Structure 1
Amino acid sequence: MRTQHHLLTAALAAASLLASPPAFAQGKAADYPSRPVRMIVPFAPGGASDFAGRIIQPALAERLKQQVVVDNRGGAAGNIGVEVAARATPDGYTFLQGNIGTMAINPNYYTKFPIRPLRDLVPVTQVVDVPGSLVVNPGLPAKTLKELIAHMKANPGKLNYGAPAPSSANTLEMIQFLRNTGTDAAQVNYKGGAGPAMIGLLSNEIQVMFVTFSSAVTFAKQGRIRMLAVISPKRNPAYPQVPTMREQGFNLVVGSWQGIFVPTGTPRPVVNALFKYGTAAMQDPTVIKRFTDGGVEIVVSKSPEDFLAFVKAETERFAKVIKEANIQTQ
């Protein structure tokens, strides 16, 4: 009987431990965060991801009631930052500002890269959709898309175009553009995303490139570059004089979305808390104004599951694009 009593006591204790994680997790979520949080931006300063991250940073910090530290980890088309985030302790104190390139394109292009976003990271919420643009150095005579195509045909292979990464949406757009227009240009690769590539355009190291609207609009307004087209369904109110690609005969409307991701294994209550704080930060009046002024649309997910379904669909979409364009993967 004594042995049975001990066995019963042990069984009850084990059962109570099995039942305790939800309560324990809720307690941890209630305490989250209790120290500064790190936001990994997988590109160099100056690009769209850095632009978005630094706008979100103060509003998110205000709601978390903790400091949010932006950690730029550029290189390898964003894969360096992605790996740092995926291998971080899954406790909610490190999250990734992922985008269309790192989350949906790279998995289809860098097939040997050990990190698989859908396996190693948990999507929390989308935050923005950044329209694209086609820009040129103002030294070019072309002032319209039609004039650019004519100039490129008259000077085959003489222009350089910027590639923030071989697998970036901007690079894929340029490859498709060259193929569709029967033109040719030399690719110049840049490490760290749109920021370094934009410097190359400003210095005339390259003469043309596709780039996120937010990375280019200020320079365009200053006359330091010329924006020939916007990649979005309609003209952007932040620079309405520039026509869309569609208006000029090209059915190109792809945006560059961004969102929050945490390492797989992060407790669900913490994921829920970060979803709550992250979506609330996107409703901050200052955040709304700064993104609107930059021509960026705020888009938040209905739930982490909703964002997961979106990322899966985008990954499948770019698998098809890369296959149909016969782009060599690595």
Structure 2
Amino acid sequence: MIAAVTMNRRRAGLALLAGAMLALAPLGAPGARAQSDYPNQPITIIVPFAPGGASDFAARLIQPRLSQILGQQIVIENRDGAAGNVGMDLAARAKPDGYTLFLGNVGTVSINPSLFSSLRVKPLQDFIPISIVADTPGLLIANPKFPPNNVKELVEYVKARPGQVNFASPGTGSVNRLEMESFRREAGLDMNHVPYKGGAGPATADVMGGHVSLMFVTISSGINHVKGGRLKALGVSTKERVAQLPDVPTMTEQGFPKSVSSSWQGLLAPAGTPQPIIDKLHAAVVEAMKDPTIRARMAENGVIAVSSPTPADFKAYIQADADKWSAVIKEIGAKAD
């Protein structure tokens, strides 16, 4: 009798334990469900610059196709300030659930961490890279009356006049300035830097006006002036020639393989975002960047539509880019404007 009672109690205990386990099981399920039915609400992409710029252009161009692929509204939120650091900080502190993304670029992600000593965000720690979306090559431009017509002639001209040739940039820590610093160190040139503020427009205008001899700009900023004869192009910073300017040789062709650089934009998510969501977003970006309309619109503006093979590839790309610009910044002692 005692044995039977003990057995019944044991069975009852096991039944209660099983029931408790079944009751607790759903507690871990919401996270998995949230990932499997992602996205089920609008997604915000924080652009850390004002409307109308290169990053805003890229975000709004891919917005409709990404929305179509993911089946949810994509909201672009412009949060500019402090060279993009305001928006980057906001995005880094967002909930890592895939509903707030960040459109980073070469400046915010690769350059600013070495330029701003007080920057709280560490991009490769505080974000998970998803994919690059746009690649804009650099273009070495000069005033039409500037004697050199190619990089070889430029090097010879500057070496014969050390400290007499000025180059412009949109700011001390801009990628345009760093591209020139990298090139002039590779070539062993002594030139003077003239920084401008307010974007590449004022600096480009002064090159056209002959007040400054040359500078690096993005192809999208300089191509129409080159085609219109208001500027001349000495080289492009791509590994291969670009379709928009087929007669302009690359910096590599002209003997400067280290002068391969670009102004890029790419999507990142806050650190801690689940990998299944990262993978789904990456697949959506890859699909979106195949769209002929997106590719054509970007090409019209001197931008190359691209995507990363994997999120890990984009992370490696960012690391290499950041290491390159960090070395240049350290060498020239550049500080935030």
TM bucket, shorter chain? 0.7 to 0.9
1:63 aligns with 2:73: no
Moved more, 39-48 or 206-215: 39-48
1:105 aligns with 2:115: no
Which one of the candidate residues 129, 134, 140 is aligned to 1:134? 140
CA 71–155 in structure 1, closer or farther in 2 if over 3 Å, else same: farther
For residues 176 and 272 of structure 1, the distance between their equivalents in structure 2, rounded to whole angstroms, comes to 35
**2:121 alignment partner in structure 1:** 115
Which one of the candidate residues 231, 234, 242 is aligned to 1:236? 242
Shift of 1:95: 2.0
Shift of 1:329: 5.6
Q: Which runs of 5+ in 2 are unaligned?
A: 1-8
1:96 aligns with 2:108: no
Shift of 1:174: 1.3
For residues 289 and 221 of structure 1, the distance between their equivalents in structure 2, rounded to whole angstroms, comes to 19
**1:271 alignment partner in structure 2:** 278
Which amino acid is 1:159 matched to? N
For residues 86 and 100 of structure 1, the distance between their equivalents in structure 2, rounded to whole angstroms, comes to 16
1:131 partner SS: strand
For residues 271 and 199 of structure 1, the distance between their equivalents in structure 2, rounded to whole angstroms, comes to 42
2:307 partner SS: coil
**1:220 alignment partner in structure 2:** 226
Is the 8 Å Cα contact of residues 161 and 209 (structure 1) preserved in structure 2?
yes
Aligned residues: 323
Q: TM-score, normalised by structure 2?
A: 0.79
Structure 1 residues 21-71: Cα deviation after superposition (integer angstroms, max 9, x where no partner): 2134313x052xx33x43333345565434433432333233344444444
CA 158–246 in structure 1, closer or farther in 2 if over 3 Å, else same: closer
Q: Which runs of 5+ in 1 are unaligned?
A: none
**1:21 alignment partner in structure 2:** 31
Which one of the candidate residues 33, 44, 69 is aligned to 1:38? 44
Shift of 1:281: 1.0
% identical equivalent positions: 40
1:248 partner SS: coil
For residues 81 and 172 of structure 2, the distance between their equivalents in structure 1, rounded to whole angstroms, comes to 9
Shift of 1:79: 2.0
**2:59 alignment partner in structure 1:** 53
2:229 partner SS: coil
Which amino acid is 2:315 matched to? L
For residues 119 and 105 of structure 1, the distance between their equivalents in structure 2, rounded to whole angstroms, comes to 15
Which one of the candidate residues 154, 168, 172 is aligned to 1:161? 168
Is the 8 Å Cα contact of residues 172 and 334 (structure 2) preserved in structure 1?
no
Q: TM-score, normalised by structure 1?
A: 0.81
1:303 aligns with 2:319: no
Which one of the candidate residues 268, 274, 282 is aligned to 1:261? 268
Is the 8 Å Cα contact of residues 165 and 190 (structure 1) preserved in structure 2?
no
Shift of 1:158: 5.9
Q: What's the C-alpha RMSD, in Å, of the aligned pairs? A: 3.3
CA 197–71 in structure 1, closer or farther in 2 if over 3 Å, else same: farther
Is the 8 Å Cα contact of residues 45 and 195 (structure 1) preserved in structure 2?
no
CA 182–311 in structure 1, closer or farther in 2 if over 3 Å, else same: closer
Shift of 1:284: 0.5
Structure 1 residues 100-125: Cα deviation after superposition (integer angstroms, max 9, x where no partner): 33222322333431001111111111
2:333 partner SS: coil
CA 203–297 in structure 1, closer or farther in 2 if over 3 Å, else same: same
**2:181 alignment partner in structure 1:** 175
1:190 aligns with 2:200: no
Moved more, 231-240 or 75-84: 75-84
